[in-house]
Chains A and B, each alone.
Chain A
Amino acid sequence: MLFPSTSRQDKGLIPEGRLTGPMPWVLAIMMFLTLLAAATALAVNASAAHVNADLAGRVTVQIVEPDPEMRARQTQAAADALTASQLVQSVDVVPEQEVTQLLAPWIGSEGFDSSIPMPSMIDISLNGPASDSNLDALRDMLAGIAPAARVDAHGSWLKPVFDLLKSLQYLGLLLVLLLGFATSATVLLAARSALDTHRETINVLHLLGATDSQITTLFQRRIGLDAAFGGAIGAIAALAVILLIWSQMEDIGSGLLESGLLRWHDWVILALIPFAGIALAMFTARLTVMRALRKMM
């Protein structure tokens, strides 16, 4: 670098004070919103991952057979076969009374009609995930010994919830990208404005033999400092809001909410975002200034 970075004159070549223009404050707002959007997306992701981990290997086998004797026989045969299977970690035949309790909200506990065929339920945990191949293997295994068996992964029941969480994650990611784009646009306008303001100085520097790279570095550093200031303010404000919501979620003590608490790697990602913002601003400034300088003699 031909202008030493520590030179006060180097900084002085572009004289405007860092905090006098609106750009640092606009960047602070951008950074604040970006971090909140990212934190929301990461919290949703954490929640989805938590729920998914809970349900990952959980499968229910229903024996849907109207004949009680046949149903009991198939249930026992299925439970024995499942217990012997290497795919299965644990088998839990759900007692009929518990099944009745589960259905009570719909058919009532008092007026239960024994003529209504009730399915038997076997709750199992797999050694691996409840993947399609594992589920097909279970179905093949049970087809001969319990023809009335229906095998369902717990996760499939919550597919709409997962879909919603995924949509929220994509929305958060989209917001982060849009805010990044808006940040770039802000920097581009600021760089063009600075170029116009300092055109005469740039011309003189060119005629004294300064390279485009030297001149670009001046603007890049100036905008980088603005971005660093704005990013720091935005990050501090966002961190305060995130910590406030964090403590409120912990106070509520709800399992679902607690599952959405940020994990350590989420904090790392959030910590990297301000630096990415500064890098994006400096990169945009460099591209903008270099392109403008190429049009000059």
Chain B
Amino acid sequence: MDSIVQFENVGLRYGTGAETLSDISFTLLPGRFYFLTGTSGAGKTSLLKLLFLAQRPSRGLIKLFDTDAVTLPREQLPDLRRRIGVVFQDFRLVQHLSAFDNVALPLRVAGMAEDELQEPVTEMLDWVGIGARASARPATLSGGEQQRVAIARAVVARPDILVADEPTGNVDPDMALRLLQLFEGLNKLGTTVVVATHDLHLQGRVRDAQVMRLDKGRLSGPVTAQPALAVGRAL
């Protein structure tokens, strides 16, 4: 099966400091579910930034959808970015827009007409359980609600890859399970899902998920399959 993402000997250095990521090599296959784990400071967020094209590597090769993302001219980056949904660790919601408008942003960016937005955005807000708060601004939402808006925004355009950085960090266990089921549902529709988390319980919830472990900026060992925990086990 052709890979959807390919990293080869990728290194990332901020400024003149030591490398944050070193010799990162892996491939992601379409339609699979991946967890990226590691302790705080291991480089999970930096790796995800490379993955969702917020950062170019200092060295190495990154191919996304068979396109060399390292040398790709920046004016061609938007086309790739539209195929990647991102749940940021700090949500990065646009504060002066309502939850509805935040979720609608990727669709507007993609050029969807206003009269076609209502249904998918409302459906997505209902899916994450905050349909009743569609007109609320992020500042008036709780951390968990903001996180759900961020997730809805990431998946509303049905991306080929969903990248989530600690997506369940601010929600209760029940909501974490619901969000994970949401990711699984998306995964079953063909979306490749990459979830960075240090929550071991969460990793055990997804059948056949692959796990990548980062340790001090390096991938430790090969990508491994994660046996699924029994359904119903508490998170």
Contact = CB atoms under 8 A, between A and B. Distances in A.
Contacts of B97: 9, 12-13
B132 interface: no
B94 A201 contact: yes
B75 interface: yes
B235 interface: no
Given A12-B101, A297-B54, A204 B94 contact: yes
A205 B105 contact: yes
Interface stretch (A34-42, A146-154, A208-216, A276-284): A208-216
Contact of A200 (B75, B92, B106, B111): B92
Interface residues of A, number: 25
Contact of A210 (B54, B78, B86, B104): B78
Interface in B36-81: 52-56, 74-75, 77-79, 81
24 contacts: A2-B108, A2-B110, A3-B109, A4-B113, A6-B114, A7-B114, A13-B97, A15-B96, A203-B92, A205-B109, A207-B52, A207-B53, A207-B86, A207-B92, A208-B105, A208-B106, A208-B153, A209-B79, A209-B81, A209-B110, A211-B75, A297-B55, A297-B56, A297-B77
Given A207-B52, A209-B79, A297-B53, A3 B108 contact: yes
Nearest 10 pairs of A and B residues by beta carbon = A209-B82, A209-B81, A15-B96, A2-B111, A209-B78, A210-B109, A211-B78, A208-B106, A9-B101, A208-B109
Task: Give the interface size class of chain B.
Answer: 20 to 34
Given A9-B101, A200-B92, A209 B106 contact: yes
Contacts of B105: 204-205, 208
A209 B112 CA distance: 13
A13 to B, nearest CB: 7
Interface of B: 52-56, 74-75, 77-79, 81-82, 86, 92, 94, 96-97, 101, 104-106, 108-111, 113-114, 153
Contacts of B101: 9, 12
B86 to A, nearest CB: 6
Contacts of A15: 96
B69 to A, nearest CB: 11
A209 B114 contact: no
A204 B55 contact: no
Contacts of A207: 52-54, 81, 86, 92
A2 B75 CA distance: 15
